[in-house]
Amino acid sequence: MKKPKPKPKPGGGRGCKILWLAILMLFLIPSVSFAASSCTAKPVSYGLIELSWTAHTDGTFTSTTCTPVYPINGWVTDVVTDPGATAPQALYDVTLTDKYGVDISAGDLADRSATASEHVQIGGYPVYGPLTLNITSNNVNAAVGTVAIFFVPFTGD
């Protein structure tokens, strides 16, 4: 007489073990997160706004409009770039474009130093509203920096 096969226990078959193993592996495998690039606008004083930026974890920076508490309605006179603790690649480029897409520095913010703060005199470019910051020619993961924008408000603003 043949012995009957035992009935499988509920939830205990080979397929179920593989499923549980797959679920367990999902929790054990470290996940990789990719932080997006970012920009924060901080008014330091009347006539000075600092844009603190962070590049993506792959070194890229997505062009972004940093909106300060109050808009820039005035003559931009000077811009200072300052590489941060995780410095960008040497000779990285910065552009600040107005609402019409015009680079207010006419390319003078190209080839920035990765170790020293640098100053560019703009000469009084009129700006009405926020500026768009773009960082290019950088491949340093999560590089950081600051762009200080000095401006003289329009009379009556």
Instruction: Please report whether residue 26 resides in a domain.
Output: no
Q: How far apart are CA 116 and CA 124, in angstroms?
A: 24
Q: How far apart are CA 49 and CA 7, in angstroms?
A: 74
Instruction: Please report whether residue 7 resides in a domain.
Output: no
Give residue 15's Cα distance to chain centre: 45
What is the secondary structure of 131-146 as a DSSP string?
Answer: EEEEEES--STT-EEE
Judge whether 154 and 77 are in contact, CB under 8 Å. no
Instruction: Please report whether residue 18 resides in a domain.
Output: no
Look up the domain containing 119 and give its range. 38-153
**What is the pLDDT at residue 20?**
54
Instruction: Please report whether residue 145 resides in a domain.
Output: yes
pLDDT in tens, the chain (157 residues): 667 666 655 555 565 566 555 554 444 443 333 468 999 999 898 899 999 999 999 999 988 888 776 778 899 999 999 999 999 999 999 999 998 999 999 999 999 999 999 999 998 999 998 889 999 999 999 999 999 999 999 986 5
Beta-bridge partner residues of 50: 42, 148
Instruction: Please report whether residue 51 resides in a domain.
Output: yes
Instruction: Please report whether residue 19 resides in a domain.
Output: no
Instruction: Please report whether residue 82 resides in a domain.
Output: yes
Beta-bridge partner residues of 119: 80
Instruction: Please report whether residue 3 resides in a domain.
Output: no
> What CATH number is given to the structural domain containing 131?
2.60.120.380
Q: How many domains does the chain have?
A: 1
**What is the pLDDT at residue 21?**
52
Q: How far apart are CA 102 and CA 131, in angstroms?
A: 10
Look at residues 138, 155, 149, 44 and name the one whose alpha carbon lies nearest to residue 98.
Answer: 149
Judge whether 147 and 79 are in contact, CB under 8 Å. yes
Q: How far apart are CA 97 and CA 51, in angstroms?
A: 13
Judge whether 35 and 86 are in contact, CB under 8 Å. no
